Amino acid sequence: MTGELVMILGLLVVALVLFALGRPRMDAVALMLVAVLPFTGVVSVPEALSGFSDPSVILIAALFVIGDALVRTGVAQWIGDRMVRAAGGRETRLIAFLMLAAAGLSAVMSSTGVVAIFVPIVLRIARAARVAVGRLMMPLSMAALISGMLTLVATPPNMVVNAALVREGHEGFGFFAFTPFGLPILVLAILYMLAVRGWLTRGEDAPPPRRLRMRDLAASYAPDGRLARLQVGAGSVLAGQSLDALDLPARAGITVVAIERRGRLGAELVEPVAATRLQAQDILWLGVVGEGFDAAAFAAGNGLNLLPLRGRDLARPGREYGLVEAMVPPGSAFAGRSPAAARMREVLGVSVIAVRRGQEVLPGPAPDNALREGDTLLLAGPWRVIRPLAGQRRDLVLLDLPEEAEEFVPERRRAPIAVAVLLGVVAAMATGVVPNAQAALLGCLALGLFGVMDTRSGYRAISWQTLVLIAGMMPFALALQRTGGVDLVANAALELIGPGEPRLLLAALFIATTTLSLFISNTATAVLMAPVALAIAQGLGASPYPFAMCVALAASTAFMTPVSSPVNLLVLAPGGYRFMDFVRIGTPFTLVTLVVSVTLLPILLPLGIAP
């Protein structure tokens, strides 16, 4: 063992200890390795920094952006809603459906990309079904990893092993050659995660208490008579007229808070500005600002239909407008003036529905009440206007955004574009017409050109902590290879078994591959172990296929640590996991995968050893 190898192994031990302790953060540990590795003389400074230009890092960053586009356009909400509805809110069915969906999509595109796309979907599902996020994130990562056992193009190690076969003059694997191994392992993984899901939930990971919702705000201000919901009839005198011409505040003592108009993609928000013309079938959300307003009489006299105002109407997910509570802070420019005099509707873009002073909701028209410091207001308006107010604390302080604000979909009309881009990227990756990173970057470019994402939202969508961790660990794998550490581990594992029982050799090969994958990328592991597998088969006079397949399957079993695969890193923070959570959950199932693989390999791919 050389001095260089001792130094690298020492750094490996230190890094693993720090990872296990969780202090400092994992990305900080990775940056420490980048800074220290050149001092060993094994890698140069450019090589230590090479991870930041690696195509896989660029691919992950681009897929973060594509995944966020699905959230911004409501596609993620739609998928989550359908999944929750199909599962009926039952946790067991949610886990099963989630794992099947993730594995199915990952079978034809990058598993890392699929997890990046599914993370926001899972967060939404967990909130909707009131299931601890930690119970869903690890099943997601496990299914994405197992997807590498389903098709030839599901993961790079499969293609590396296939290329090694072809180089040696053998016929390569078929597209679905992996499926008979992957499907039973996926089924067992679903059953396993259902059985051990309780291990994933610590006290702090329990479902959070129900957050504030708009119906709670409505009840606390008791706005009965302050809000009304009416639909413009086909023969209404209001149809075709502009809000400016109608002058509803002066004529009827009401203000139009929002207009819900049926579009091609469902209900859409039309901003109630002065020039807005009402159309038949429009649903008007009205704030009552005058005394004695009778909604039923107003509806009957103007050809409108009075609609009920129920809790579910206030809390329907994905609606583009809502209610929020705000306070008048000391020194506010609104103190001492009424909302009408301060022109709050014109200045802020929201309507004041009610004013509360202390525990009492003030009577009379809300816009006419002179405000005092400490007053709280019930405001109504579009979320795209309300949410920026959270950062403005001089004149008005938002107390708490209701849960519906997080479900706001800013680019719903561009959902078809986001879906088309995703399908295009998946098709490009599946067919290999361009490299994966290039396909994802072209997808990001398309999202920008069609207005789905802008530069600022794209940067915000990327998990920089994850990217730094992945890029920082890549040169460490190179250092292990150069110092002979990889060969040391592989040879030691093989020498323990010798040329005996082929099943034991398969098991040793599986264990060696899995062990290496804990420290270096599974692609690099496949590059190193595929020639070893073929050499073993040649020495035994056996078929190379079961041994090559063994390496490919083992390379997809990165269940045991969060740093063994980018897939695990993506769910680490959202799931609230610790390093040891992956060890506790991943180790037993790695053994299950080992047993299943070693059992099925000689059956489905006969060894063909001459007697």
Most confident of 115-124, 395-404, 580-589: 580-589
In single-letter form, the type of residue at position 115 comes to V
Considering only residues 81 and 515, tell me which one the structure prediction assigns the higher pLDDT. Answer: 515
421 vs 440: CA distance, rounded Å? 9
What's the pLDDT score for residue 593? 95
322 vs 302: CA distance, rounded Å? 26
Element (H, E) at 442: helix 436-449
What's the pLDDT score for residue 318? 42
What's the pLDDT score for residue 444? 93
Whether 139 shows a pLDDT value over 60: the answer reads: yes
In single-letter form, the type of residue at position 428 comes to A
Considering only residues 125 and 237, tell me which one the structure prediction assigns the higher pLDDT. Answer: 237
Whether 309 shows a pLDDT value over 90: the answer reads: no
Whether 547 shows a pLDDT value over 70: the answer reads: yes
Whether 29 shows a pLDDT value over 90: the answer reads: no
Residue ranges of the domains in the chain? 212-401, 485-565+576-604
What's the pLDDT score for residue 554? 94
Tally of CB atoms within 10 A around 382? 20
Return all residues near 117 (Cβ < 8 A) that are at least 6 apart.
63, 66, 67, 70, 76, 422
433 vs 186: CA distance, rounded Å? 29
pLDDT classification of 315: cutoffs 50, 70, 90: very low
What's the pLDDT score for residue 282? 87
Residue 229: strand, helix, or coil = strand
Of 58-62, 401-405, 501-505, 576-580, which range is least confident?
Answer: 401-405
**In this structure, which long-range contacts are made by residues 310-318, counting pairs with CB atoms below 8 Å and at least 24 apart in sequence?**
311/215, 311/218, 313/229, 314/213, 314/214, 314/215, 314/218, 315/213, 315/214, 315/215, 315/404, 317/77, 317/81, 317/128, 317/404, 317/407, 318/74, 318/77, 318/407, 318/408, 318/409, 318/412
What's the pLDDT score for residue 110? 62
The sign one gets for the Cα dihedral 86, 89, 93, 97 is positive
Global confidence as pTM: 0.62
Tally of CB atoms within 10 A around 105? 21
Residue in the structure block whose two tokens are 């009957």:
300
148 vs 154: CA distance, rounded Å? 5
Burial profile 37-76: b = 16 or more Cβ within 10 angstroms, e = fewer? bbebebbeeebbbbbbebebbbbbbbbbbbbbbbbbbbbb
Write out the two tokens for 118. Answer: 């599914």
What's the pLDDT score for residue 420? 92
Count Cα neighbours of 191 within 13 Å in the Cβ-side half-sphere: 7
Kindly state the average pLDDT of the residues 329-343.
84
The DSSP symbol for 198 reads G
Write down the mean pLDDT value for the chain: 79
Cis peptide before 24 (omega within 30 of 0): yes
195 vs 206: CA distance, rounded Å? 17
Return all residues near 535 (Cβ < 8 A) that are at least 6 apart.
none
pLDDT classification of 27: cutoffs 50, 70, 90: confident
pLDDT in tens, 196-242: 888 876 544 455 455 666 777 777 776 555 677 888 888 888 888 88
Return all residues near 23 (Cβ < 8 A) that are at least 6 apart.
none
Kindly state the average pLDDT of the residues 129-143.
87
pLDDT classification of 434: cutoffs 50, 70, 90: confident
Q: Kindly report the CATH class assigned to 212-401.
A: alpha beta
247 vs 348: CA distance, rounded Å? 19
Residue 328: strand, helix, or coil = coil
444 vs 225: CA distance, rounded Å? 47
Write out the two tokens for 225. Answer: 């008579």
Considering only residues 95 and 484, tell me which one the structure prediction assigns the higher pLDDT. Answer: 95
pLDDT in tens, 439-496: 889 999 999 999 888 888 888 888 787 778 777 877 876 787 788 775 675 566 556 6
- 3-state SS, 205-221, equals HCCCCCCCCHHHHHHHH
